[in-house]
Amino acid sequence: MSRQPFRHARGRVIAGNTLAYVVLAVLCVIWLVPVAWLIIISFSKGVAGIPNYFWPKYGFTLQNYVKLFKDSGAASGFYFPRWFLNTLFVAICSCALTAVMTLSVAYAVSRMRFRLRKPYLNVALVLGMFPGFMSMIAVYYILKAVGLTNTLVALILVYSGGAGLGFYVAKGFFDAIPKEMDEAAMIDGATRSQIFWQITVPLSKPVIVYTILTSFLAPWADFIFVNMIMGPTAYKNYTVALGLFRMIDREHITTYFSMFCAGAVLVSIPIVALFISMQRFYVEGITGGSVKG
Amino acid sequence: MEENRIRSRWSGLRRFFAAFVNQANLLGRTFREGDTRTRLSFVLMGFGNLVRGQVAKGLYYFLSEAVFVVYMVLFGARSLVGIVTLGTKTQYIEAIPGQVPKVIRGDNSMLMLLYGVATVLLVVWFIATYFWNISSAMQAQRAVEKGEVLPGLRTEAREYLDAKFHVTLMILPVMGLLLFTVLPLLFMILIAFTNYDSSHQPPGSLFHWTGLYTFKALFSNSGVLGGTFWPVLGWTITWAVIATASNYVLGMLLAILINRKGVRFKGLWRTVFVMSIAIPQFVSLLLMRNMLDDFGPINGVLQHWGLTSKFIPFLTNATFARLSVLVVNLWVGIPYSMLITSGILLSIPKELYEAAAIDGASPFRMWTKIILPYVVFVTGPYLITQFIGNINNFNVIYLLTGGGPSGLTYYQAGKTDLLVTWLYKLTVNTRDYSYASAIGICVFIISAILSLVAYRNTKSYKKEETFQ
């Protein structure tokens, strides 16, 4: 390569770049087709069942979105606006709880040395290796024993109950903050809690954002635990994920497919916007935690 | 090396037992050296602290004891017996001629086991509290003997913001874990050793301890359960290997492409792919399921263009379905590994490239000899986490095929079912909880072995302290 004349090398670079653009463009189309179809169908008229076309046959309409709000009620059994607010409520509560607890645990195991630290780390490692769905049914019985099934509180508890295990990313982050800062503050007479709130937390913005982001997004995506906790009749307490999931099960799909698409678009927009604006933190979060030779 | 590691594990065990011996010694020593007030703490918890002026602490220990004793007498003792018997009276229907038949309630094995496990956890907590109480009484006595002023409530409370700050930080998360992870998990692990399956459902009937029976049935070469387990395990491993490798390699190629020197709009390209991570999986995957339906748009368009005369059974034929989930998983997974490897690629020392270019290495050789080894080295642990993640990849399978098409010789499973989706179906559809738990334990063992290999061999685990 280095022996070739300069002109040829440049020609190769241009050819290579063109090829790169073509490949990227093709890939982008592949990645965007499902998204595009989702949006198109959400505006389509006269969709019955699964359409066997990409471009609408009967023109466009806003009715799918309108019906999502207007037809909400006992007649259809679908309460989209209510589900949306439910999910928002659960997401805010559980992400606040989860973030506080995750950061607490991460700080304790990263910065402090106590007798049960190593055992705790080992137990957490072991607990994390059991498949999550294994304990699902037992969680349900526990919630039932306390009379919390069919409530949103139960969801908040379930989503934030495992916060004590999700400390790895934050711990990795705290580990990288120089210990000398703590020591200097301690010499000045600061207590551990002062160090935590006044030194560590302000320095940890990326990891705090990451923790909040991931725990805020979880309730929007989960349909398994909601399904377990809410049972078949508590329609009003569904979250969007379960509600939309129900819209296209076998008995409903013929009538509700385009409404499902409309609902999915409405749910996805804020989540995607949030995610993309916080992308940087997300990358820092995952690469900071898992990739460390 | 190897020997050292084994020795260190033994020493870990020894330390564990040594801790118990220490606690026992502490009891003996405290009893010998303690005065009457301290000795009374053995029976009346918190007495030593209470009479020496540490009211709050003393009351806490005393109330713990009171609550524990009342609980055990009213309820706990019975549930400890219950965990052994799992119930003796079966529910039955009493039919007296001329009257409406009446259901006579029996024991509920499930609740007995659940309460039993909860009681065992409570007993463990009480024993710990008991030891704290003893050592705290002795400490108080020592301090008084030396003429020190005992720390009051306020001083002790302040400790929990400083030297004991970890207790404050961890108490809530640990309680959450105990209630929503440890207790349910212990309960489910125990279920694997009972016959709590579809034909033993409380309250209608009892279930019993059956030892390793479920595992034997699962691992047997004959029988419908073993006939399902082995093929499903085989597909799970195949799936995890192919899915991990393909996502990883293709994700890296994409990252290289985007990070190529001459390529512009890097942020735009990346954002397009990141979108597929951001869209909730139940939306994107359910949509894909409908797109790949026998009568869905992809088949529709293929037939419209005359490329196929009949629909392609993307999700309804076993081989096609397996290929489809692997391909769709690329759509989901490539952006992830693209994000991860992007960061690493940027951190490759530039000198490596330059040296290779001077030596006249072709791009392909550069990739195989420099980039790949470097990235594999750095991402080793991530690769194994991904592999475990794929073994547990519930969403892609469940949302796309639901495990189908069903295997006719399988028990409650389909041709694309992974162990976890089979576990889920056994839990939700047929309530074969004992089978489901046994499968969960198998998944745990697979993940545990892999994680041991991954974590124990990484520097960050071995040298955690020196790293900081």
Q: Give the per-residue SS3 of chain A.
A: CCCCCHHHHHHHHHHHHHHHHHHHHHHHHHHHHHHHHHHHHHCECCCCCCCCCCCCCCCECCHHHHHHHHCCECCCCECHHHHHHHHHHHHHHHHHHHHHHHHHHHHHHHHCCCCCHHHHHHHHHHHHCCCHHHHHHHHHHHHHHCCCCCCHHHHHHHHHHHHHHCCHHHHHHHHCCCHHHHHHHHHCCCCHHHHHHHHHHHHCHHHHHHHHHHHHHHHHHCCHHHHHHHCCCCHHHCCHHHHHHHHCCCCCHHHHHHHHHHHHHHHHHHHHHHHHHCHHHHHHHHHHHHCCC
Q: Report pLDDT for B375.
A: 72
- Residues linked to residue B93 through DSSP beta bridges, in sequence order: B103
Task: Please calculate the CA angle A71-A72-A78 and round it to the nearest 5 degrees.
Answer: 115
Q: What is the pLDDT of residues A151-189, one digit of tens each?
A: 999 999 999 998 888 888 888 888 888 888 888 998 998
User: What backbone torsions phi and psi does residue B92 show, to the nearest 5 degrees?
Assistant: -145, 170
Asked if A136's CB is within 8 angstroms of B297's CB, the reply is no
CA dist., res. B146 & res. B160, Å (int) = 24
Task: Give the distance from residue A74's alpha carbon to the nearest chain B alpha carbon, in angstroms.
Answer: 24
B136 contacts B59 by C-beta, under 8 angstroms: no
Residue B194 has pLDDT above 90, yes or no: yes
- Give the 3-state secondary structure of residue B406: strand
Task: Give the distance from residue B98's alpha carbon to the nearest chain A alpha carbon, in angstroms.
Answer: 37
Asked if B287's CB is within 8 angstroms of A191's CB, the reply is no
Task: Give the distance from residue A204's alpha carbon to the nearest chain B alpha carbon, in angstroms.
Answer: 17
* Mutation site for A-interface testing, chosen from B11, B175, B177, B365 by largest number of A Cβ within 10 Å: B177
Asked if B296's CB is within 8 angstroms of A50's CB, the reply is yes
**Residue A4 contacts B, CB cutoff 8 Å:** no
pTM for the complete prediction? 0.86
Nearest CA in chain A to B450: A129
Q: Report pLDDT for B100.
A: 83
**Residue A210 contacts B, CB cutoff 8 Å:** no
Task: Give the distance from residue B37's alpha carbon to the nearest chain A alpha carbon, in angstroms.
Answer: 28
Q: Report pLDDT for B466.
A: 44
Average pLDDT over residues B295-304: 89
Task: Give the distance from residue B451's alpha carbon to the nearest chain A alpha carbon, in angstroms.
Answer: 9
Cβ-based contacts of B385 with chain A (< 8 Å): 290
Asked if A192's CB is within 8 angstroms of B165's CB, the reply is yes
- Residues in chain A predicted with pLDDT less than 70, given as ranges, are 1-8, 284-293
Q: Report pLDDT for B193.
A: 95
Residue B184 has pLDDT above 50, yes or no: yes
ipTM: 0.86
Average pLDDT over residues B192-201: 91
Q: Which of A175, A267, A272 is opposite residue B275, by nearest beta carbon?
A: A272
Residue with tokens 């080295």: B377
Asked if A30's CB is within 8 angstroms of B257's CB, the reply is no
Q: Report pLDDT for B4.
A: 54
- Residues linked to residue B406 through DSSP beta bridges, in sequence order: B414
CA dist., res. A157 & res. A101, Å (int) = 12
Average pLDDT over residues B249-277: 86
Asked if B187's CB is within 8 angstroms of A241's CB, the reply is no
Residue B10 banded pLDDT, cuts 50, 70, 90: low
Q: Tally C-beta pairs within 8 A across A and B.
A: 273
H or E segment and range at residue B460: helix B459-462
**Residue A241 contacts B, CB cutoff 8 Å:** yes
Nearest CA in chain B to A268: B279
Residue B115 has pLDDT above 80, yes or no: yes
Q: Report pLDDT for A289.
A: 45
CA dist., res. A290 & res. A267, Å (int) = 29
Residues 6+ apart with CB under 8 A from A214: A282, A285
A98 contacts A166 by C-beta, under 8 angstroms: yes
Residue B188 has pLDDT above 90, yes or no: yes
| B83 CB neighbour count, 10 Å cutoff | 18
A199 contacts A185 by C-beta, under 8 angstroms: yes
* Sign for the pseudo-dihedral over CA of A210, A211, A213, A219: positive
Task: Give the distance from residue A191's alpha carbon to the nearest chain B alpha carbon, in angstroms.
Answer: 5
* Mutation site for A-interface testing, chosen from B17, B156, B181, B183 by largest number of A Cβ within 10 Å: B181
Nearest CA in chain B to A248: B286
- Give the 3-state secondary structure of residue B46: coil
Q: Report pLDDT for B7.
A: 56
Task: Give the distance from residue A106's alpha carbon to the nearest chain B alpha carbon, in angstroms.
Answer: 9
**Residue B338 contacts A, CB cutoff 8 Å:** no
- Of the candidates B269, B328, B267, B284, the residue with the CA atom closest to the CA atom of residue A35: B284
Q: Report pLDDT for A293.
A: 33
B124 contacts B132 by C-beta, under 8 angstroms: no
**Residue A276 contacts B, CB cutoff 8 Å:** yes
Q: Which of B174, B187, B440 is opposite residue A164, by nearest beta carbon?
A: B174
Asked if A221's CB is within 8 angstroms of B282's CB, the reply is yes
Listed by number, the residues of chain A in 111-150 with a beta carbon closer than 8 Å to a beta carbon of chain B are 112, 114, 117, 120, 125-127, 129-139, 141-142, 145
Cβ-based contacts of A21 with chain B (< 8 Å): 263
- Of the candidates B159, B132, B137, B158, the residue with the CA atom closest to the CA atom of residue B53: B137
| Average pLDDT score over chain B | 86
Question: The tokens of B23 are what?
Answer: 């606690």
CA dist., res. A261 & res. A289, Å (int) = 35
Task: Give the distance from residue B58's alpha carbon to the nearest chain A alpha carbon, in angstroms.
Answer: 24
Residue B1 banded pLDDT, cuts 50, 70, 90: very low
A251 contacts B250 by C-beta, under 8 angstroms: no
Residue B218 has pLDDT above 70, yes or no: yes
Asked if B293's CB is within 8 angstroms of A129's CB, the reply is no
Residue B8 banded pLDDT, cuts 50, 70, 90: low
Residues 6+ apart with CB under 8 A from A128: A165
Question: The tokens of A284 are what?
Answer: 């820092």
Q: What is the pLDDT of residues B441-452, one digit of tens each?
A: 999 999 888 888
Q: What is the pLDDT of residues B25-75, one digit of tens each?
A: 888 888 888 888 888 888 889 888 888 888 888 899 999 999 999 999 999
Q: Report pLDDT for B12.
A: 65
**Residue B135 contacts A, CB cutoff 8 Å:** no
Residue B406 has pLDDT above 70, yes or no: yes
Residue B99 banded pLDDT, cuts 50, 70, 90: confident
H or E segment and range at residue B438: helix B433-456
Listed by number, the residues of chain B in 251-290 with a beta carbon closer than 8 Å to a beta carbon of chain A are 254, 257-258, 260, 262-263, 269-284, 286-288, 290
* Count of positions (residues) in chain A: 293
A50 contacts B288 by C-beta, under 8 angstroms: no
Paired sense of beta strands B102-104 and B92-94, if any? antiparallel
Listed by number, the residues of chain B in 376-405 with a beta carbon closer than 8 Å to a beta carbon of chain A are 377-382, 385, 388, 392, 394
Q: Which residues of B386-414 are buried (b: 16+ CB within 10 A; e: fewer)?
A: bbbbbbbbbbbbbbbbbbbbebeebbbbb
Q: Report pLDDT for A61.
A: 87
Average pLDDT over residues B326-344: 88
Cβ-based contacts of A220 with chain B (< 8 Å): 280
A209 contacts A270 by C-beta, under 8 angstroms: no
Long-range contacts of A244-250 (CB under 8 A, 24+ apart): A244/B282, A244/B283, A245/B282, A245/B286, A246/A78, A247/A78, A248/B286, A248/B290
